[in-house]
Structure 1
Amino acid sequence: METSQQQKIYNFSAGPCILPQEVLKQAQDEMMNWHGSGVSVMEMSHRSKEFISIAEQAEKDFRELLNVPKNYQVFFFQGGASMQFSAIPYNILGDKTKVNYITTGSWSEQAQKEAKKLAQTVEAWQDHASKFTTVPNPETWNIDKECAYFHYCDNETIHGVEFNDFPFEKVEGMTLVSDMSSNIGTRPIDWEKYGVVYAGAQKNLGPAGVCIVVVREDLIGKQRPDTPILFDWKVFRDAPTKFHNTPACYPIYVTGLNLAHMKSQGLQHYQDLANKRASALYDYIDASEGYYTNPVEPKYRSRTNIPFRVKKDEKLETKFLAEAQKVGLIELKGHRSVGGCRASCYNAMPFEGVEALIEFMKKFREENP
C-alpha cells in the first residue's frame, strides 16, 4: 500500500487482511460493473447465476490451492471463526458428553469457553504457568480418547505460538479439529488427519465477513436437535449453492479474487515467504543482545505473528511505535492483553516489509541505547 506521496506503507496489523495491490486494483475496476453485468457484486442477488459463479470459482480455487479432497465440504460462513467455537460442538458432539481441548493462547481459550456451554471439556494441558510462551511435551498431555473430538489452535495470533510439528500420533483415532485462522495458506495441510479445519478469512485470505470451514463429509448430519439453524452444517450443505441465507457476497467475491491470485503464485511460494520473513525477523531479534526480545520458545515460534518487547520498557515501546508509524510501519502495537509490540506477517506481506522493519529496528536501537 502507498500514500499519495508514494511513501511505502507496510501494515503489520493482526486483524484485517492485507491484500495484494493486484487484487485491490481488480476489485476497484469491477466495483461498479462486474463483468458487464451492469451492477456491483454487492448489489447482486446471492441466487443469481453471476454470484453463484463467483462463489463456485472461489471454492474451486481454495480447493486447488490447498488440495482439499472431494470428501470434504467447503463452506463460506458468516460470523467469523468465533461462531464456529459454538457450531463445532453443536454439530459433532453427537451423543457424547466430553470434548478434548488444548489451550495454548487466547483463541483456543475462548474456543474452550464456548464448548463448556454444551459439554464437559477435558483440558490436555493443565499447567499454564508459562503464560502461553510454549507448548508442553505431548507425552504429558491429558487426552481422553472417549471425547467426541480434539480441538487445537494451529497458530495463536495474540501470543505468537504455532504448532510447527503437531503430534498427530497422540490423537490418532479421534476427530481432530483445528482453528487455522492466522496461518492458513502458509503451508500444506494433511487433510486426512483432520475432521474440521476452520479459518476466518480476514488474516490470510480475504476481508472480514467470511469464515472458511472445511468439514469431512461423514461428520455432517450429526447435529444436536437444538442446534441453531445458522450453526447447522447440514442445513447449509443441503441448501442451494450451500447458502441457506444471504451470505456475505462482497467479502466472498474479494476472497475469491485473492484465492485466484494466490493459486497463480502457488502454495510453495507462500510457504517459502512465510519461513523467510519469520527467520529474518527472529534472527535479528535474537542477535540484538536483549534489546529486542521474543518470549516464545523457539520450537513454537509463530511464522505469522511475532510479538516482541523493546528493552521491556513501555515508555520506549510507545516511542518505538510512534516513530515506526512516521516511516510507514503501521499497526505494530501488541494486543492489549499482553502489551509490547507485534509484527503480523500474513500472506500478502512482502519480504521487503520485514526488511524495512528490521532496518528501522536497527536505527531505533542505535538512537535509543
Structure 2
Amino acid sequence: MSAKPATIPERPWFSSGPTAKRPGWTPEALSGAPVGRSNRSKVTVGRICQALDMTREILRIPVDYQVFMVPGSDTGAFEAAMWNLLGARRVQLLAFENFGQLWADDATKHLKLDAEVLSAPYGELPDLTQIDPQADLIFPWNGTTSGVRVPNSDFLNGHAVADSGLVLCDATSAAFCMDLPWDKLDVATFSFQKALGGEAGIGVLILSPKAVERLNSFDSARAIPKVLRLKKGNAADAAILGGDAINTFSFLVIEDYLDALRWAQREGGLEGLIQRCDEAAGALFNWVEKTPWIDFVAVDKATRSTTSVCLKFVDPAIRALSAEAQAKLATRVGSLLELEGVAFDITGYRAAPPGLRVWCGCTVEAEDVEALLPWLEWAYAVAVSELGLVAA
C-alpha cells in the first residue's frame, strides 16, 4: 500500500454545492451587511441593485434583459419560470441528469403540460436533432450530477427566430464558469451557492424581452404560490422584475454575493473566471486520462463539464462488483479523504454511477487540485484493500 502523500490541498473544499468560498474569504467579508434593516430601505434596496448590476456586467447580460432575485435558490428561480411561462406551447425537456429529470417530472406530473421528454442515461446527451424550434425548450446547460454539459449552442439555432418557442436554461453550474449565449436564451437561472461559493437561499432569474412578452400575454389560469408569482394582475410585476424582493431576503447572503462579485471583477471578469475553471479542470483531466482505474462519466470529450467533474470506476475487477459494492467503495474513498482533511464532499451524486465528483469551478485553485491527485490514488488503494476487493 502506498504511503500518504506529503502535501495536502491548502483549501480542501471540492463540494459541488455549496461550493468553495472565494480564495481569502473570511466571515469579516460580511461585516458591512445591513442586518436588522427593512428590505425596503434605501440601503438594502441599494445592495440588491448593486448586486444585480454587477451580475449583469460580469455575465455580459444584454441591457434589455430583466435580472432579478427570487426565493428558493436556483430551484425556486426555475420553478417560478416554469409556473409563470409554460403552457402556451408544447414543451420539450432534455433530461440527462437529476435536475433535468426534476424539471421533466414537474412539467409532466405537476403542471401536466403537453410535454415531450428527451432522455439520455448518465454520461450522454439526448438526441439534439429531435428538438422542435416551435416548442418551448427546457434544459440544464451543465449537468451537475452527471458531469455532462452541452458542447455548444448550435442546437439552439432554430429557436433564435421571432416565432419560435422560448428557451429556458438552468445555468446554475455554468454561470460565471462558462460563456452563455444570451442571444439564444430566453430564461436563465442560477444560485449564489454554485459557481461563486455564495450562501444559499436566493436564486437569480434572467428574462429576455421575448420571455417578458410571454409573461404579459399568457394567462396559464393556474394558481401560482406567492413566492413563485411574477405577475401582478394580468401583466408582469414591474416591481419584482425591477429588482424588488418577493419576500424578505437575508442581507448576509446578499453581502456575501457582493463580496464574491467584487472578487470576480478583480480576477478579470468572465474571462478570468473561465480561465480559472479551465486550469483547475485541466489538472484533473490530465490525471484521469493517465489513470487506469478511473474515467469520466461523460462519454464524449466535448461534453465534459469543467465545473462538476464526475468520475466513475472503470477497473474491470471493480466494475464486476454490484452497484452497491461500488457505491460503498466510493463512500469509503470520500471518508478517508475527509478524515485526512484533504477533500470534503467528493463522493458522486447518489443517483449517478458510483464514483467521485470533484468541483473545479472558479473559486477552486488549480494547485489544490494538483495536490489532491496523489491523495486520490492513496485513498482508492486503501479503500480497495480495506473492503477486501481485488483491483486489476
Instruction: Tell me which interval the TM-score lies in, with the shorter structure as reference length.
Output: 0.7 to 0.9
Aligned residues: 346
Structure 2: which 5+ runs fail to align? 1-7, 319-325, 386-390
Tell me by how many angstroms 1:316 deviates. Answer: 4.3
Report the TM-score when normalising by structure 2. Answer: 0.81
Q: 1:200 to 1:238 in 2, by over 3 A?
A: same
Q: 1:98 to 1:49 in 2, by over 3 A?
A: same
* Separation (CA, whole Å) in 2 of partners of 1:12 and 1:362: 16
2:150 aligned partner, one-letter code:
F
Kept in 1, the 8 Å contact 2:191–2:203? The answer is yes
Coordinate RMSD, CA, aligned: 2.4
Tell me by how many angstroms 1:174 deviates. Answer: 2.8
2:288 aligned partner, one-letter code:
I
User: SS of 2:266's equivalent?
Assistant: helix
1:224 aligned partner, one-letter code:
S
2:270 is the alignment partner of 1:277: no
Tell me by how many angstroms 1:21 deviates. Answer: 4.2
Kept in 2, the 8 Å contact 1:11–1:330? The answer is yes
Kept in 1, the 8 Å contact 2:61–2:182? The answer is yes
Tell me by how many angstroms 1:99 deviates. Answer: 1.1
User: SS of 1:124's equivalent?
Assistant: strand
Match of 1:345 in 2: 360
1:230 aligned residue (227, 230, 248):
227
2:113 is the alignment partner of 1:138: no
2:326 is the alignment partner of 1:308: no
Q: 1:123 to 1:319 in 2, by over 3 A?
A: closer
* Separation (CA, whole Å) in 1 of partners of 2:362 and 2:100: 22
* Separation (CA, whole Å) in 2 of partners of 1:259 and 1:314: 37
2:229 aligned partner, one-letter code:
D
Q: Deviations over 1:158-212 (max 9, x none)?
A: 1111112132224343321100111210132221111100012211132111111
Kept in 2, the 8 Å contact 1:12–1:343? The answer is yes
1:237 aligned partner, one-letter code:
A
User: SS of 1:42's equivalent?
Assistant: coil
* Separation (CA, whole Å) in 2 of partners of 1:210 and 1:234: 19
Report the TM-score when normalising by structure 1. Answer: 0.85
User: SS of 2:358's equivalent?
Assistant: strand
* Separation (CA, whole Å) in 1 of partners of 2:347 and 2:86: 38
* Separation (CA, whole Å) in 1 of partners of 2:44 and 2:185: 30
Matches for 1:71-82 after TM superposition, within 5 Å = 71-82=64-75
Q: 1:304 to 1:19 in 2, by over 3 A?
A: same
* Separation (CA, whole Å) in 2 of partners of 1:21 and 1:197: 27
1:20 aligned partner, one-letter code:
R
Give percent identity, aligned residues only. Answer: 21
2:14 is the alignment partner of 1:12: yes
2:139 aligned residue (137, 152, 175):
152
Tell me by how many angstroms 1:360 deviates. Answer: 1.7
2:174 is the alignment partner of 1:183: yes
2:376 is the alignment partner of 1:361: yes
Kept in 2, the 8 Å contact 1:86–1:115? The answer is no
Q: 1:267 to 1:85 in 2, by over 3 A?
A: closer
* Separation (CA, whole Å) in 2 of partners of 1:280 and 1:69: 33
Q: Deviations over 1:205-225 (max 9, x none)?
A: 321111111111342324534
* Separation (CA, whole Å) in 2 of partners of 1:243 and 1:262: 24
1:212 aligned residue (201, 204, 207):
204
* Separation (CA, whole Å) in 2 of partners of 1:332 and 1:152: 25
1:181 aligned partner, one-letter code:
T
Match of 2:343 in 1: 329
* Separation (CA, whole Å) in 2 of partners of 1:223 and 1:344: 40
Tell me by how many angstroms 1:330 deviates. Answer: 1.4
Kept in 1, the 8 Å contact 2:89–2:165? The answer is no
Q: Deviations over 1:56-105 (max 9, x none)?
A: 111111111011111111111111222244322332225x2521111111
1:42 aligned residue (31, 35, 38):
35
Q: 1:283 to 1:241 in 2, by over 3 A?
A: closer
Match of 2:322 in 1: none
Tell me by how many angstroms 1:241 deviates. Answer: 4.4
